Amino acid sequence: MPRVRVNLFAQFRELTGVKHVELELKEGATVMDMLREIEERYPRMRGRLTSEGAQYVLMKGGQWPKKEDRVEDGDVYALFPIVGGG
C-alpha cells in the first residue's frame, strides 16, 4: 500500500487547517484516487480537486503528474490553488 505526502499551499492550507496530508492508498491507486481521498477527508475541499473544471496545480518532483498516473510509495506532491490577480 503506497504512502504519499501532499504538501498544501495558500487557500488549500486554510481550507484543511493543515500544511500537509499523509495518505495510505490502495495498491494501484492513481493521482485521481489520491485527490478523491483528500476531498473525502476534508469536506471543505470537496469539488475543488475532482469536479469538472477544477483548477489547481499539482507537482511531483518538478513534473505535472496526470490524473491517471499511479502513485508510488514515498511520493511527495505539492498542491497549489490557482491564484489570480493582475
| Residues with Cβ within 8 Å of residue 53, at least 6 apart in sequence | none
pTM: 0.93
Q: Which domains does the chain have, with CATH numbers?
A: 3-81 (3.10.20.30)
Instruction: Report how far Cα 1 is from the mean position of its chain's Cα atoms.
Output: 17
Give per-residue pLDDT as tens, 52-82: 989 999 999 999 999 999 999 999 999 999 9
Give per-residue pLDDT as tens, 15-43: 999 999 999 999 999 999 999 999 999 99
Nearest to 34 by CA among 72, 63, 84: 72
DSSP 1: -
| Residues with Cβ within 8 Å of residue 57, at least 6 apart in sequence | 64, 78, 79, 80, 81, 82
